């Protein structure tokens, strides 16, 4: 099997699986229980919190566990609207956000908020100046992702947020860091974000766990109510096994981000080199992009057809993003892809386990597909 769908999800690493199993078997108590078993579970949660805080160069009290980045994004957005949105009715975002950001924002737009969607320019890139100039005194929230999940494009978040914080210190800056976390060096302070969303299953931890970083001094209000866990911000018994697995996965990556990044650069450059001379194949490039994600257009073959063709050959890719499930991607449209390109673009997303030989096999099978598949009119 050649797995090129790591932006959709990753295979949990050994260390993470071990931590999950251990917690399930021997550490299954409720971390809120006052007895020693509860204390043991609480210690596990605390340890993971410390590891995740360290990865962002933050204090552990700034980390709130959630069920994943979808929940973190919703919490960040609706909490901000609760704290500031009564008087400030404007939100600035981009046209290329993941649905877990774009859908809550759409809901708010339908319910009285003015939303500015900053759109990529002709080169498919977003200027920090466009984000900055969209913000004004009536803005409660700016929310931009760090790395686009469909193309790998890296947005100028740190630069934009630095200027925004200088001009409007009270505006809440939120960043969906899911596709950048533990893949690039993301530090809370250099990102200038008040709130940061991260997810476990994109970094070799289990599904169903994520976190929201909240900068010290930033007020967050809960959007669900219950037992008051996570300092009242996210009620619900903590998913100790998942949290243990999350911490274990981050711990493995802590000292190897740069090394893995280098390897990904080699893999993605190799893909570019090997496809350079293949007619009808384009790697869609940006001035800043994550080597973990490649957007590949194969002319005249529908992306879903190619996806299933490759699957038969044991190669797993994605058409757009896993979340868009075959629907034409609004995000790729916003990037300026024309209809024909939209229909023929797949996403490859890598992990450290991928090898150049797998790229060779991919290129070989794409050439076979070009020879075999019926062309769209
Ligand atoms: N944001 C981005 C950029 C993503 O790629 C994803 C996952 N596809 C999410 C948010 C949602 O993360 P989760 O699956 O943890 O809810």
Considering only 1-15, 238-252, 285-299, 333-347, which range has the smallest mean pLDDT? 333-347
Domain 2-9+256-376, what architecture?
A: Alpha-Beta Complex (3.90)
For 3, the 3-state DSSP assignment is: strand
Section 116-137 average pLDDT: 96
Average pLDDT, the chain: 95
pLDDT for the residue 322: 52
Tens of pLDDT, residues 358-373: 999 999 999 999 999 8
Nearest protein Cα to ligand 1, atom 6: 178
Residues recognised as catalytic: 323
Tens of pLDDT, residues 169-190: 999 999 999 999 999 999 999 9
* pLDDT confidence band for 320 (50 / 70 / 90): low
Is 14-254 the same fold as 2-9+256-376? no
User: Has residue 81 got a pLDDT over 80?
Assistant: yes
Q: Using the mean position of ligand 1's atoms as its centre, give its distance from the Cα of residue 235 in Å.
A: 21
Section 303-325 average pLDDT: 86
pLDDT for the residue 23: 98
Tens of pLDDT, residues 49-66: 999 999 999 999 999 999
| Domain boundaries, given as residue ranges, for the chain | 2-9+256-376, 14-254
111: which 2 tokens? 């319910």
> Looking at the whole model, is its pTM more than 0.85?
yes
User: Has residue 323 got a pLDDT over 80?
Assistant: no
* pLDDT confidence band for 377 (50 / 70 / 90): very low
User: Has residue 344 got a pLDDT over 90?
Assistant: yes
Length of the chain in terms of residues written:
377
CATH no. of 14-254? 3.40.640.10
Residue 149 in contact with ligand 1 by CB distance below 6 A: yes
Contacts of 129 (CB under 8 A, 6+ apart): none
User: Has residue 294 got a pLDDT over 60?
Assistant: yes
Dihedral, 91, 95, 99, 103 alpha carbons, nearest 10:
40
Nearest protein Cα to ligand 1, atom 16: 70
79 touches 294 (CB < 8 A): no
Q: Using the mean position of ligand 1's atoms as its centre, give its distance from the Cα of residue 279 in Å.
A: 33
Residue 104 in contact with ligand 1 by CB distance below 6 A: no
| Percent above pLDDT 90 for the chain | 91
For 368, the 3-state DSSP assignment is: helix
pLDDT for the residue 329: 86
CA angle 219, 223, 228 (to 5 degrees): 80
Question: How far, in Å, CA of 204 to CA of 12, rounded?
Answer: 4
User: Has residue 374 got a pLDDT over 60?
Assistant: no
Section 122-138 average pLDDT: 96
Distances (CA, A) of 230 to 23, 158, 235, 237, 307: 19, 27, 7, 9, 41
Section 85-89 average pLDDT: 92
pLDDT for the residue 116: 98
pLDDT for the residue 325: 59
pLDDT for the residue 373: 86
Question: How far, in Å, CA of 356 to CA of 377, rounded?
Answer: 34
Mutate to test the pocket of ligand 1, among 52, 65, 100, 195 (most ligand atoms within 8 A of CB): 100
Tens of pLDDT, residues 11-24: 999 999 999 999 99
Beta bridge partners of residue 214, listed in sequence order: 195
Residue 196 in contact with ligand 1 by CB distance below 6 A: no
CA angle 246, 262, 303 (to 5 degrees): 75
Q: Using the mean position of ligand 1's atoms as its centre, give its distance from the Cα of residue 199 in Å.
A: 7
């Amino acid at each position: 099997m050649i797995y090129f769908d790591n932006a959709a999800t990753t295979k949990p690493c050994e260390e993470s699986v071990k931590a999950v199993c251990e917690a399930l078997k021997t550490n299954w108590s409720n971390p809120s229980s006052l007895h020693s078993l509860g204390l043991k579970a609480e210690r596990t949660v605390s340890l993971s919190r410390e590891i995740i805080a360290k990865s962002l160069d933050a204090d552990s009290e700034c980390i709130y566990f959630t069920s994943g980045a979808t929940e973190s994004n919703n919490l960040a957005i609706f909490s901000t609207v609760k704290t500031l949105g009564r008087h400030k009715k404007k939100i600035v975002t981009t046209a290329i956000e993941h649905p877990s950001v774009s859908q809550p924002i759409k809901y708010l737009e339908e319910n009285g908020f003015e939303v500015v969607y900053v759109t990529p320019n002709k080169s498919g890139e977003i200027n920090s100046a466009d984000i900055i100039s969209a913000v004004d005194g009536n803005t409660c929230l700016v929310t931009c992702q760090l790395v686009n999940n469909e193309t790998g494009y890296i947005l100028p978040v740190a630069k934009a947020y630095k200027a925004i914080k200088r001009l409007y210190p009270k505006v809440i800056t939120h960043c969906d860091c899911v596709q950048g976390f533990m893949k690039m060096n993301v530090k809370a302070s250099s990102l200038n974000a008040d709130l940061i969303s991260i997810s476990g299953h994109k970094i070799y931890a289990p599904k169903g766990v994520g976190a929201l970083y909240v900068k010290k001094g930033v007020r967050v209000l809960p959007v669900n109510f219950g037992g008051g866990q996570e300092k009242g911000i996210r009620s619900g018994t903590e998913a100790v096994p998942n949290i243990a697995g999350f911490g274990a996965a981050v711990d493995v990556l802590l000292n190897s981000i740069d090394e893995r990044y280098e390897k990904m650069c080699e893999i993605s450059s190799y893909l570019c080199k090997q496809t350079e001379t293949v007619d009808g194949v384009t790697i869609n490039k940006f001035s800043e992009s994550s080597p973990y994600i490649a957007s590949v257009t194969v002319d005249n073959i529908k992306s879903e057809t190619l996806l299933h063709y490759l699957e038969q050959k044991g190669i797993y890719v994605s058409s757009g993003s896993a979340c868009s499930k075959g629907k034409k991607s609004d995000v790729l449209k916003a990037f300026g892809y024309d209809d024909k390109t939209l229909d023929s673009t797949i996403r490859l997303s890598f992990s450290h386990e991928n090898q150049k030989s797998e790229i060779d096999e991919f290129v070989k099978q794409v050439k076979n597909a070009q020879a075999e598949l019926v062309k769209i009119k």
